[in-house]
């Protein structure tokens, strides 16, 4: 169970990426006061949690309704995670996030960014939704599913903490350290994505 929790936590942490979302959130909320920033951070994480829990609990049934085999989803999800990993290694993911943040930041008024882009697609994006569904599909029995959900909850709590401490966190880490961490996590995610694809191919053939 401990091994499953660690594996699920690392995978979700890398995909959801709390440290990577912190600087984006800080730039999006420069015109907001402390109370507004706190409220938007809590709202963003709560909405993202609701989305991820829905797909974690009923994603398999959704696939069945659409006639998609679970092994096919494992392969597709693994490829998707591999592409995310490549973006992380070559910093394309960060560039896209920053471009999206810049477009929203150009508006003069303080905009509520809790739903878009923070809750979705930055926290509960296609990658994190696919990852949650993949992890739940590999879980055997209620106990293992609860472990995966627990790992997801811990990751979301860390996300909330990173958003609330976005300013000080950025000052502490700095751009260069953040870039190194992102690249290392990208390599790890690429290996995990390859394993998802291998599992899907083995089960299919």
Is residue 23 within 8 A of residue 170, CB to CB? The reply is yes
The predicted structure's pLDDT at residue 23 = 76
The predicted structure's pLDDT at residue 26 = 78
- For residue 186 the two structure tokens come to 């990208």
**pTM, rounded to two decimals:** 0.75
* The residue count for the chain: 205
The predicted structure's pLDDT at residue 192 = 75
The predicted structure's pLDDT at residue 67 = 85
Question: Residues of the chain whose pLDDT is less than 70?
Answer: 30, 92-111, 167, 169-171, 173-176, 178, 181
């Amino acid at each position: 169970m401990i091994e499953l929790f660690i594996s699920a936590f690392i995978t979700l942490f890398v995909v959801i990426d709390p440290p990577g979302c912190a600087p984006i959130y800080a730039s999006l909320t420069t015109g907001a006061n402390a109370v507004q920033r706190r409220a938007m951070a809590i709202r963003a994480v709560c909405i993202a949690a609701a989305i991820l829990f829905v797909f974690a609990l009923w994603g398999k049934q959704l696939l069945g309704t659409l006639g998609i085999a679970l092994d096919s989803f494992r392969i597709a999800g693994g490829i998707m995670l591999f592409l995310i990993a490549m973006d992380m290694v070559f910093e394309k993911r960060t560039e896209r996030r920053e471009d999206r943040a810049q477009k929203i930041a150009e508006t003069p008024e303080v905009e509520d960014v809790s739903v878009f882009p923070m809750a979705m697609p930055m926290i509960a994006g296609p990658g994190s939704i696919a990852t949650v569904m993949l992890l739940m599909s590999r879980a055997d029995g209620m106990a293992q599913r609860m472990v995966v959900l627990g790992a997801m909850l811990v990751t979301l709590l860390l996300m909330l903490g990173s958003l609330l401490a976005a300013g000080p966190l950025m000052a502490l880490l700095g751009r260069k350290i953040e870039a190194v961490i992102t690249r290392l996590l990208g390599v790890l995610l690429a290996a995990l994505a390859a394993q998802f694809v291998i599992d899907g191919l083995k089960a299919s053939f």
